[in-house]
Structure formats: structure tokens, C-alpha cells
Structure 1
């Protein structure tokens, strides 16, 4: 499986979110919201915390941190996401910024959180180095990322494309660089090594599992319209190719039916946390 270089992957990500902000918030963002509170807990966010929400998307993590009494700054590389977060959460300090080029002073924050952002970076180690720079000594970092192999909620789509035999668009990456060489049970350990290897201490990585209850037709729409990679793959197929992929998806997703027209899809994420050494 080919992995794109960091610059090309970042360029794809920045353009791939165009036009998807509202669809993401209404659809796929609901499954990511499961990790909002655990993420803030892992970073020790509470009253008075100076928090950076990196890759804030529509802003649910930043809003939750504000409710805890924290002082919050939020950034995202997507101008559309930044605009949406600002509209959704009036008064939130939200800015356009790249995670590996943060416009903040050294040690400005005592907590940095990122909900499913590190897996969207072309160079995860560079992003972690920049996070370390803006963290104060003793500050806490907490990041989530999808456990891609066990994440049945999204794996269904890649499997349906592969089984249909339709060609993938050549200008869409097969996967991102994050933990690209780690497989199966080694992925939490690889995440741990990445945190430790970029200068963080007291690293910890745990797997979080839950079921995402959703209408299967709605889930198809949520993923195709609200995610840059899978959405690009499927939306660029010819109509008859899309129908072929959809038939396989419908068959696979039916195995998770729980009644009343809903399915319960296994979702699995990695929650990594660490401290900047004093």
C-alpha cells in the first residue's frame, strides 16, 4: 500500500476538507464526539487551564473545555472549519493555523488536545514537536486517532471499494503516514513510541471501544460527504461504480443490524497522552 510523502498528503488534506465542514458536523462529527470528555480528562483540563484545541473542526472539544472553566484557543487548517466553529461557539478564540506551524509563543499553554487530528498530518512527528514547543513544562498533551484495522464503522467502506473491483482514483492517498508501518496489536505501542520519541514523558496509550448507533443509509451519506479521503474515493467514482460499492456496503453493514432500521457499528480509537518534561 503506497503512502504519500508528507507534503503531498498535507496538500490533499487541506483541499479535501473544502465543502465538507457542515456535513462533517452533522454526520461524522457525531462519532468523534464520543471522545471529547475522555480527551479533556486525559489532558487534565479544568478551571483556569490554558488550553489549545489543535485541529478543532466545528469546535466541540473547545466548547466542552470552556464549560469546564478553561481559557481556550482553537486552531484548524481549514478556513471553513474555523468559520463554522466561530459561528457555533460565539466568543471562542479560533484561528486558522497549521499544526506544525503554530503561531504561539513557547510554553504558552498548559494543555494541548487534538481530537482525531494527528492521523491527518503528513508528518506526525513534526506536529508533535510543535505541540511540545507551545506546551509549558509539566503541561499535558492528549490526542485521539482511529484504530484503523479494528474501526469497522469506517473499514466497511474500504472493503466495499476493494471487493467491488473498481479502480481507486489515482490522486487520492490510500492511507496517511500516521503509524503507517504498524499493524494490529503493535499500533498502541507504536503510538507510545512516537510520543516518547518526540520528547514527551509519562506517555500512555489506551484503546477506547464503543458502538455507533446510526441508520445505515445515513452513515453512508455521513462518510461520503463528511470525510476527505473515503469521501473523495467514492464521490469520484462513476455512477455505476458507486452503485456497485453501495451494494457491497449495504450487505456488509446489514451484519450489524440491531432493529428499527439501525445498525450498531464498532468504533475503536487510540487515546494517547503525555507530559512535557519540566
Structure 2
């Protein structure tokens, strides 16, 4: 029987801050600039970084001159963000909890966090609450179901004949991982001037390093599934992974893996 999604997420990310910073954070970092642009973050902006992770969004917002606060559900992530952004005001809180006052911020942004909450609508309502009238929201998420860099390990798991575990829940956000549905979700939370665009880029990486990141680090559900298998099954998944990766452009031992995300913006 599948677990409660929010409970599963807390177990999934517990103690994974360092592994995330070494691996997946290098993919999601591509969206930091576009996210802050969509939120209108500039000198003097009172800004909240939701799901700060290693703090890369908060760091760039500070470079732009914003007054930055941050939050993350995982204490290890909050600690990492404090290390990377000295003096950062970062709180540990699980969406939809947002431990800030009504109208406290000019801009709120979350980089690949809305797809990790059990009730995206309630989370959006809370993010709207802490924005001043006219304040801007910006959120990124993966195009779903995942493709390219996000889906290679999942595809290898499937091709190796490993079934999806009964106790792992599907993300409630799955139905919103395309532009029309994501736009509707943000509008229904009360935001105006809602726009959603698809952003694509290439993540160039050593394929063995990406195998470690996506399969052996236990970051994300794919990593959890691979981590449960015996050595023979892991080798079978790795063989399928190698075959899949060989189909992507390669140079100097690295491959260019496509990444596809959605970027949503709106105004309170």
C-alpha cells in the first residue's frame, strides 16, 4: 500500500542534502536566472525562496540586491543553504506551512518544489498570502511525465523489468506537469496575469557520473528503487541505462542530456 505522499517525501529527502548538492542541483541551477527574472527580483526586492535546497536561488537573489528569506522542509538542506549563503534567514517548514506574515514579500519563487508537495493548491494559497498586493510569484517544475535527463534512469528501470513498488506514491502534482494544467492551477489559487512557458536546455555530463547521481545516490524515487535491488538487478538496470545513454550526443566522454521544465509566473 502506498504511503502518504508528504510522509514519503520527508523520508525520501532525509539526509540527502549533500548528495543533492553534488548531483541534481547542477541540473536545476539552470533555471535560477529565468525564475528570478519571472519573479521580478531586483535591488531592494523583499524575496522568499521556497524550497531553497542548497541555496542557489537565494544566493543569486542576494547578488541582485534583494532582501532574501528562505525556507526548506529538510533541515539538512537549510543547513547547506546557510553554509552557501552566509547570514541567510532560512526557516525549516513543510509546505503548505509558510512561517511568514501576510504580505511580507514583493516576490516569492520556488525552483522545482511545487511538484514535491501533497496539496499544491493549498501551498499556492499560502504563497499568495505572504505576497503583498501586486507581488509576483514564479515557480518551476519538470514537464511530466519526465523525459530526457529526468527520465533516463526511470526508463532503464522499466526496461530491466523492475516493477514500480506498491508502497511508493505517485506525486499529486503529476496531473499539472503540462502548461495548460499548470496555468489553471495557479489561476485557481487566485493569481492574475498567469503565464506558463516551457524551457529546455542540455545537461552535459559524464554518463557514469549521472548514473551515480540518478541511480546510486538514493536521491529521488529512482534512486530509492535502484537502492532496493540486489547486485544482479542493479547490473541489469545499468546495462539498460548504458544502452539508452549511448543514443545521446557525446563528446570527450560526456553526453548532452535534454532537460524540459515549465516556468510559471503570476501576480497577487
TM-score by length of structure 2 reads 0.96
- In structure 1, what is the Cα distance between the partners aligned to 2:196 and 2:175? 17
**Could you say what secondary structure the match of 2:95 adopts?**
coil
Matched, 1:222 2:213: yes
Asked if the contact 2:218–2:227 (Cα under 8 Å) also holds between the matched residues in 1, the reply is no
- Match among 40, 51, 75 for residue 44 of structure 1: 40
Gaps of 5+ in 1: none
Mean alpha-carbon deviation: is it higher for 235-244 or for 143-152? 143-152
What's 2:55 paired with?
59
What's 1:151 paired with?
147
Asked if the contact 2:59–2:84 (Cα under 8 Å) also holds between the matched residues in 1, the reply is no
What's 1:113 paired with?
109
Matched, 1:213 2:198: no
- In structure 2, what is the Cα distance between the partners aligned to 1:51 and 1:151? 31
Asked if the contact 2:125–2:189 (Cα under 8 Å) also holds between the matched residues in 1, the reply is yes
1:150, CA displacement in angstroms?
Answer: 5.6
1:75, CA displacement in angstroms?
Answer: 0.2
- In structure 1, what is the Cα distance between the partners aligned to 2:151 and 2:266? 28
1:151, CA displacement in angstroms?
Answer: 2.6
Asked if the contact 2:54–2:78 (Cα under 8 Å) also holds between the matched residues in 1, the reply is yes
1:13, CA displacement in angstroms?
Answer: 0.6
Aligned pairs for 1:1-278 within 5 A: 8-149=4-145, 151-173=147-169, 175-178=170-173, 180-181=174-175, 187-224=178-215, 225=217, 227-276=219-268
1:237, CA displacement in angstroms?
Answer: 1.4
- In structure 2, what is the Cα distance between the partners aligned to 1:12 and 1:18? 10
Supply the RMSD in Å over aligned alpha carbons.
1.5
- In structure 2, what is the Cα distance between the partners aligned to 1:182 and 1:84? 30
CA distance 1:169–1:34, change in 2 (3 Å): same
Partner deviation per Cα, 1:158-205 (whole Å, 9 max, x = no partner)? 1111111123333223x3111x3367xxx1000000010110000000
**How many residues align structurally?**
267
TM-score by length of structure 1 reads 0.92
Mean alpha-carbon deviation: is it higher for 205-214 or for 235-244? 235-244
1:103, CA displacement in angstroms?
Answer: 1.1
Asked if the contact 1:27–1:226 (Cα under 8 Å) also holds between the matched residues in 2, the reply is no
**Could you say what secondary structure the match of 2:165 adopts?**
coil
Asked if the contact 1:172–1:232 (Cα under 8 Å) also holds between the matched residues in 2, the reply is no
